[in-house]
Amino acid sequence: GAVVSQHPSRVICKSGTSVKIECRSLDFQATTMFWYRQFPKQSLMLMATSNEGSKATYEQGVEKDKFLINHASLTLSTLTVTSAHPEDSSFYICSARPQTGNLNEQYFGPGTRLTVT
Amino acid sequence: AQSVTQLGSHVSVSEGALVLLRCNYSSSVPPYLFWYVQYPNQGLQLLLKYTSAATLVKGINGFEAEFKKSETSFHLTKPSAHMSDAAEYFCDVTTSGTYKYIFGTGTRLKVLA
């Protein structure tokens, strides 16, 4: 149980275009989903927290107009990187916090490798 | 605010030797602590977690960690390293109510044949 999927696993896009990444909790409902960014050989940095049906909360320094997050249902959150630039190339990982059970636990998706050319 | 410090960005051990990866935390309230492993180009896999129950926590793949409040530590150990243990390991902390995970900078474990 507690499986989180991400789609796509890899994406290459041209500079200036937008890319959407999906994060789904497959076998549980997630009140809260988190989006992380990981640069090569670095740790995970929390970008934003999204709660179903409300606006996402962004961490300091993260441009909310560039990284659009939508959490329309209890099993799906999307991250859209708008007007992507090469410096947005990174590994994006989502996690989901279950609605019931251990509320301090998060389940992580497999990540999405974004390359902007 | 919580924080995590992982001492040693790179650790090398011989196959069969003891693995010790260090993690110290800072938290003004009782913490929840986790260790994750990450293989190249993959997501995070939970190794073990401390959630205020037993201080010695056993996880998957033979790993264990001990929560020591007096030392604010949660070091990860494994008695005998295997080649397949070579990966990146992350310690992280959260507290009840915040739900945010604060990750350490990671430790890359190399296992020598």
Q: Chain B within 8 Å of A112 (Cβ-Cβ)? A: no
Average pLDDT over residues A70-76: 91
Pick from B18-27, B42-51, B70-79, B82-91: least confident: B42-51
Q: Is the pLDDT of residue B83 over 70?
A: yes
Q: Is the pLDDT of residue A101 over 80?
A: no
* Strand blocks (E) in B22-63: 24-26, 31-38, 44-50, 56-58
User: B100 and A46: CB-CB below 8 Å?
Assistant: yes
Contact residues of B toward A, CB < 8 A: 32, 36, 41-44, 49, 51, 90, 94-96, 99-106, 108
DSSP at A9: S
Which bin fits A74, alpha (ψ -120 to 50), beta or left (φ > 0)?
Answer: alpha
Kindly report, residue by residue over B8-66, the tens digit of the pLDDT.
999 999 999 999 999 999 988 888 999 999 998 888 999 999 987 789 999 999 999 99
Average pLDDT over residues A4-25: 96
DSSP at A59: P
Q: Which two tokens stand for residue A72?
A: 């329309």
Chain A CB contacts of B90 under 8 Å are 43-44
Q: Which two tokens stand for residue A106?
A: 């998060």
